[in-house]
Every structure is written in C-alpha cells, then in structure tokens.
Amino acid sequence: MPEQGPRMNGFSLGELCWLFCCPPCPSRIAAKLAFLPPEPTYTVLQPEQQQEAGAAAGAGTPTGSGTCSLHLSERADWQYSQRELDAVEVFFSRTARDNRLGCMFVRCAPTGRYTLLFSHGNAVDLGQMCSFYIGLGSRINCNVFSYDYSGYGVSTGKPSEKNLYADIDAAWQALRTRYGVSPENIILYGQSIGTVPTVDLASRYECAAVILHSPLMSGLRVAFPDTRKTYCFDAFPSIDKISKVTSPVLVIHGTEDEVIDFSHGLAMYERCPRAVEPLWVEGAGHNDIELYAQYLERLKQFISHELPNS
C-alpha cells in the first residue's frame, strides 16, 4: 500500500494511483468509504441472562417471560418513558453469512397498516435510533422494524457490502415470519448507507413502497463525483439496480448535502421506473432533513394518500 500524503475524499495521492492501477475488490472500497460503527449504545439480554443481570442492568426491563430485554446506555439519549420502552421488542436473527443480527420492532402505531423496514445511516446503532423510530412511527402511523448491520451494535461479524445484503435479507425474513407482515404492508426505508441494502432488496422483491433518504449512486461516485460509469471494482452500485425496482419510490434529498451530493438523489430519482413526486429539501444537508417541516408532511402525504390504506 502506498505511503500517506495529501488526501482527496479520504484518499492519498498514492492511494488514488494504486486504486486505478491496481483496482481493489469492492469490499475494500466499501470499508474505506462507508462503515463507521459507533461504540454500542445498548445491550440485549437473552432470557437466560436476565436473571443474572438483576435490577441493576440499565434502562430497560424484560417485556415478558422468555423474551429478550433492551438496556440502553446514556449515550442512547432515550427521550421517552418506560412505557414506550416496554413497547420496543428486541431479538436476534441469523444471516445467511452466519452473523448474529440484532433486530428491533417498535410498536408505535397499533392501528396502522404499514411497517417500515428501516435501514439506518452510518455511525449510529439501534440504541441511538429507537427514540427517533418512536417519534417517526407515531407521527406517520407506521410501526418500525429495524436492525443493526453486521459489526454494529450487538450484531456480530464485520461491516461489508456482502454482509449488508445478507443483513437486510435476514431482517426481511424475520419481519415476515416472526410478525406475519406481508410484503404489500412493508415500506422499505433506507437512509444514506442504508439505501444500499434497501435498493438491493427492492430490486428483488416487490413491496408496498420504497423510501430513499439521501441515497448514493455508488461508492466510487461519492469519492469521485465525475465518475460516469460503474467499474468492476465499484461498491454499492445502486444506480444500476434502481431500474429493477417495481414498487413506488419516494426519493428525499437535501440540496446542500455535504456528504452525498444532491446529484445522487436526482440521478436515482430519474432512473426509478415508478418514482413518485420527490422531496428536495432546499438548504438541507446530510443529517438535518428531519428537522424541516416538509419532511413529515411529505411522508404523511405519501403513506396516507398515495398508497392504499384500506
């Protein structure tokens, strides 16, 4: 590997030469560009561990005999009461690549038809996201199912592109079999790096709808914005999969996104066979779209009025 020097988009000049003279496998690009798992902000105690843990084991309590229990650290920034926490179910699934997958089901809309299968962004885990899930789901009348990528939170293994796809496959199967939610009642929601497994799954299965929040075309196009085609060593080639998505797709992107340029959202929207009216949030960056009023307004309009609700 070449020595370090001046850097561009996280790569040194030597690394750029190495990248194009000796192209690496996509997993190396993926690791370089994408994965920043935080220190876990939660633990999950399985039934046999709960008695040993006792009353001193954090913020959560078991939801019932034979179930796993969620325990949040202070860094999870829990914003609700114990009552809401008791409605958050956690459990483990197993991926096709033999990683243990931490999963979460948030029952925040008992009368809602739809469940979001939410693939979160980078540098967060389920502990940090669960307050957001409750707030979002209760406002748009959807339950929320989510999971941590391999190497994130309590999920085992290492983050990689192949693991991303295996992770969402396991989450999809768990949502369908454990909770009996049929595909026509599942909305796939991906944010940032989470749009990668979301698009991959949506290109293979039809569902109620797909929401792409700050999507990327591919890994190489993020690092090198002038890239015009997909090379064999590129990672996350969502731009080549989006045309296979047959479900309605809502694309959301901030016009001032400093991480994944707005052009990515625009290109993904233009390639969607069943794209609905997108949400371009004027002035929004990569991590603040949710703070704009039109974010919730557009989601409510899409789910309550543009999708079947009978």
Residue 181 lies in a domain: yes
Other beta carbons within 10 Å of 20:
11
Which residues are the active-site residues? 192, 257, 286
Residue 309 lies in a domain: no
Dihedrals φ, ψ of 62, to 5°? -60, 140
- pLDDT tens-digit map of 113-131: 999 999 999 999 999 999 9
Nearest to 227 by CA among 269, 281, 267, 286: 267
What range defines the domain where residue 111 resides? 25-52+64-304
Domain count for the chain, please give it.
Answer: 1
Residue 219 lies in a domain: yes
Q: Report the CATH number that the domain containing residue 240 is assigned in CATH.
A: 3.40.50.1820
Residue 7 lies in a domain: no
Residue 310 lies in a domain: no
Give the pLDDT band (50/70/90) at residue 53.
low
Structure tokens at 260: 């994944």
Cα–Cα distance for residue pair 175/198, rounded to 1 Å: 14
- pLDDT tens-digit map of 275-304: 999 999 999 999 999 999 999 999 999 999
pLDDT of residue 46: 87
Residue, of 219 and 265, whose pLDDT is higher: 265
Cα–Cα distance for residue pair 203/283, rounded to 1 Å: 31
